[in-house]
């Protein structure tokens, strides 16, 4: 719940604690008229930055990992006050970025080393060069992890970066950029703040746009990028399914369903938003899911007993409660939760008897609701799971061969079999359909921030 006041009245952006409504802090709004100059500074800095090797850039950034660890409690508490998640989760997010940074910069540098191919009397070298200026536009649900997810590979691969964080969480993103900037040359990493500043940055003279957020905004970015054929990396919405099939370990399936539906108050891009359960397992699964749901206590970030915090703002809460009300009006049954709560808090909720005639099964929820639908076969479960415009993640629990067969028929980009989507080191984070274009992480993802060039000579 961020307050943007008219430029005539104020030149600042207040960040609001979603649990209390109190002002956490303020950042200056970036005048839109200054964005061309900001981009020009980034482009001027790009020449010397790109001239370094990836390993040299990695070495420059390496000390930032320890700096994040040293300040993790202070920064994590700031993150939690601004975004709403419990202190332990906010501190954990900062520590996750700091602890892995040294290994990550080496992984990125290794991914973009030249590759040599030979044959038929020719030697070809594949180079992965920086694009130039990268605009990184990041969301509020993981307000340090997502800037880290974009800025670090963009920087190590030789781009300069202009970070435009969500106006809901500007303070922690600025703090993250400030830590990295202690070790970077001037102009290599800059931050702009404000809602309208995002479109202005997209229209400016940037070479690459990396964005995580809504499908509608992603479409707008694609349209704006089309004139200059700017490169884009877009992670957009999702409606992740979970299939619970014959032979499933119901304790593990229910535990995963609750955790992945409710963590971070359901405000996760790969939250489980649709659950299809073999009808023969349905009653037992529901009972176990309700038992798991009861453990997700709700409270402000400083409540040590809270497992999840509030929704980010009143508009998001209203969206979730409206979807629940629509589903109930069309025959869904509330089997847990949905008790009224003050402010931006919402009780984790389990709905049974949902159908695809309900908005909550087709439109992204981004809230703590587990929606369960009984099915008569694995084929029906797969068909319903694929009945979506989205395709980011999915999970299948069941007898191993049955679950693997179902997984291979799903249209999602990342699929877990008897587990979540997290995979082996080096896997890319990738969506299908309208869940995005391009991907992050691993060698494949790191190279998304590079222009491939091939130089061939006679061997």
Q: Which residues are part of the catalytic machinery?
A: 235, 269
Q: How many CA atoms lie within 13 A of 318 on its CB side?
A: 4
Distance CA(149)–CA(146), nearest Å, equals: 5
DSSP bridge pairs for 232:
209
Ramachandran angles phi, psi of 14, nearest 5°: -90, 135
Ramachandran angles phi, psi of 124, nearest 5°: -115, 135
Cβ atoms of residues 168 and 137 within 8 Å? no
Q: Is 37 exposed, middle or buried (0-12, 13-18, 19+ CB in 10 A)?
A: exposed
Distance CA(87)–CA(80), nearest Å, equals: 6
Taking alpha carbons only, the member of 167, 198, 196, 194 closest to residue 82 is: 167
Distance CA(253)–CA(459), nearest Å, equals: 56
Tokens describing residue 140: 């509020």
Pairing state of beta strands 369-375 and 122-130?
unpaired
Helix (H, G, I), strand (E, B) or coil at 244: strand
SS3 readout for 372-425: EEEECCHHHHHHHHCCCCCCCEEEEECCHHHHHHHHHCCCCCEEEECCCCCCCC
Backbone torsion region of residue 213, taken as left when φ is above 0, otherwise alpha when ψ lies between -120 and 50, otherwise beta = left
Cβ atoms of residues 142 and 116 within 8 Å? no
């Amino acid at each position: 719940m961020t307050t943007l006041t008219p430029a005539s009245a104020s030149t600042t952006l207040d960040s609001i604690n979603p649990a209390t409504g109190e002002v956490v802090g303020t950042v200056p709004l970036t005048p839109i008229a200054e964005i061309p100059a900001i981009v020009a500074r980034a482009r001027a800095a790009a020449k010397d930055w790109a001239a370094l090797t990836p390993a040299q850039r990695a070495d420059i950034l390496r000390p930032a990992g320890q700096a994040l660890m040293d300040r993790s409690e202070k920064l994590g508490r700031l993150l939690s006050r601004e975004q709403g998640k419990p202190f332990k989760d906010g501190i954990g997010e900062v520590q996750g970025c700091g602890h892995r940074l040294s290994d990550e910069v080496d992984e990125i540098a290794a991914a973009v080393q030249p590759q040599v191919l030979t044959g038929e009397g020719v030697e070809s070298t594949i180079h992965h060069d920086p694009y130039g200026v990268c605009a990184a536009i990041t969301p509020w649900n993981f307000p340090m992890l997502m800037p880290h997810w974009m800025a670090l590979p963009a920087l190590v691969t030789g781009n300069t970066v202009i970070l435009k964080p969500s106006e809901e969480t500007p303070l922690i993103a600025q703090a993250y950029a400030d830590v990295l900037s202690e070790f970077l040359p001037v102009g290599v990493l800059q931050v702009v703040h404000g809602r309208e500043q995002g479109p202005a940055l997209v229209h400016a003279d940037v070479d690459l746009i990396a964005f995580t957020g809504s499908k509608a905004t992603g479409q707008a970015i694609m349209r704006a990028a089309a004139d200059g054929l700017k490169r884009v990396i877009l992670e957009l919405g999702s409606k992740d399914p979970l299939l619970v099939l014959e032979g499933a370990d119901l304790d593990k399936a229910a535990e995963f369903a609750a955790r992945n539906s409710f963590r971070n108050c359901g405000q996760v891009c790969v939250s489980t938003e649709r659950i299809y359960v073999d009808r023969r397992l349905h009653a037992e699964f529901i009972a176990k899911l309700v038992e798991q749901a009861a453990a997700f206590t709700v409270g402000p970030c400083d409540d040590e007993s809270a497992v999840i915090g509030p929704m980010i703002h009143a508009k998001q809460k209203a969206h979730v409660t409206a979807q629940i009300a629509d589903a109930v009006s069309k025959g869904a049954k509330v089997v847990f939760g949905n008790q009224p709560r003050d402010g931006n808090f919402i009780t984790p909720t389990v709905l049974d008897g949902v159908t695809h005639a309900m908005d909550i099964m087709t439109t992204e929820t981004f809230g703590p609701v587990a929606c369960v639908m009984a099915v008569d076969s694995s084929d029906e479960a797969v068909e319903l799971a694929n009945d979506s415009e989205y395709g980011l993640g999915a999970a299948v629990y069941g007898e191993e061969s049955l679950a693997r067969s179902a997984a291979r028929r799903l249209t999602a980009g990342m699929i877990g079999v008897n587990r979540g989507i997290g995979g082996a080191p080096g896997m890319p984070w990738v969506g299908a359909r309208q869940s995005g274009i391009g991907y992050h992480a691993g060698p494949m993802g790191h190279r998304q921030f590079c222009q491939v060039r091939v130089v061939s000579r006679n061997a």
